[in-house]
Structure 1
Amino acid sequence: MTISVFILILVSVAISALAQISLKAGMSAEAIQLALDSDTDRLDTITTIASNPYVLGGLGLYGFGAILWLLVLARIDVSMAYPFVGLGFILTMVFASLFLNEQLTLVRIAGTMLVVSGVFLVAKS
């Protein structure tokens, strides 16, 4: 694997993790929570969700990340590339702590480190 492909993988995974944070921020918005908890028309609820800038941004980030991922798959075996998606667990956990003030517990960190260990083993193969 070349360094450029490795960087492409990392950027794709990071963008997907940021997409998760953006989607969570959008879905936590008061207007969306009210729409989900009320008896409003489902179309109104969908419109409220679809017009939230964080939700739209998250979907856009996923689209861009998918395009980058396609470039990765064009260059290396999927069995080599896909384990790196596990790094998204780490990035999502860190980004959630930084941007959403979610707690990092010892159990979450330990579980994430197990995932990283697996990614490392696959990368070395």
Structure 2
Amino acid sequence: MKYIAFILFTVMTNAAAQLMLKHGMMTLGPISFAGVNPVIKLLQIVFSPWVFLGLATFVISMASHLYVLSKVELSFAYPFLSLAYVAVAVFAYFVFREDLNAWRIAGIGFICVGTVLIAQSGRGHEELAASPSTPLQTSELAQ
């Protein structure tokens, strides 16, 4: 639980990146490659301000996630990323006026409950190192 702030930072930067990418693509309008060099078109998309900012935010999110993975178990940290779905759905409702119907709200509820259950089970590497059980050595696995 010591690294929960870093995990939540990863989640929020991931969600923010999605919202920036959506805004950037809405600004660009429908994408068509007809009569245009696809490489040029791709560069125009990537270097449009909101898309570029979204991609840069993804890099920050990934750097934060790598830090988290160095401190806690993957099976603990990774499920928290599902909270990005929750944040994106809520913010998309308010910012982009996207639909948030009963089915989506129910799904969000299940995601939140699952994340709380996983959070209750979490231990970081330092907690594992302090536990009395020792990991099996490769030579012990062969026996």
Same fold judged by TM-score > 0.5? yes
Higher helix share: 1
For the 8 Å contact 2:13–2:57, the answer to whether it is kept is yes
- In structure 2, the CA distance between the partners of 1:37 and 1:98, relative to structure 1 (3 Å rule), is farther
Task: Give the match for residue 102 of structure 1.
Answer: 98
Post-superposition Cα deviations, 1:12-64, rounded to whole Å, max 9, x if no partner, equal 1000001001111111224x52x426432212311220221110000000000
Once the 2 structures are TM-superposed, how far is the Cα of residue 109 of structure 1 from its aligned partner? 0.8
Task: Give the match for residue 7 of structure 1.
Answer: 5
Task: Give the match for residue 62 of structure 2.
Answer: 66
Distance 1:39 1:112 in 2: 42
> Which of 30, 38, 43 is residue 42 of structure 1 equivalent to?
38
> Which of 103, 110, 113 is residue 114 of structure 1 equivalent to?
110
For the 8 Å contact 1:18–1:58, the answer to whether it is kept is yes
Distance 2:69 2:37 in 1: 42
Counterpart of 1:17 in structure 2: which amino acid? A
For the 8 Å contact 1:18–1:95, the answer to whether it is kept is no
> Which of 36, 52, 57 is residue 53 of structure 2 equivalent to?
57
Post-superposition Cα deviations, 1:77-107, rounded to whole Å, max 9, x if no partner, equal 1111111111111101111112222121111
**TM-score in terms of structure 1 length:** 0.88
Aligned residue-pair number = 121
Segments of 4+ moved more than 3 angstroms: none
Distance 2:8 2:32 in 1: 35
Q: Which runs of 5+ in 2 are unaligned?
A: 122-143
CA RMSD across the alignment: 1.5
Highest Rg: 1 or 2? Answer: 2
Distance 1:109 1:38 in 2: 39
Task: Give the match for residue 141 of structure 2.
Answer: none
Task: Give the match for residue 76 of structure 2.
Answer: 80
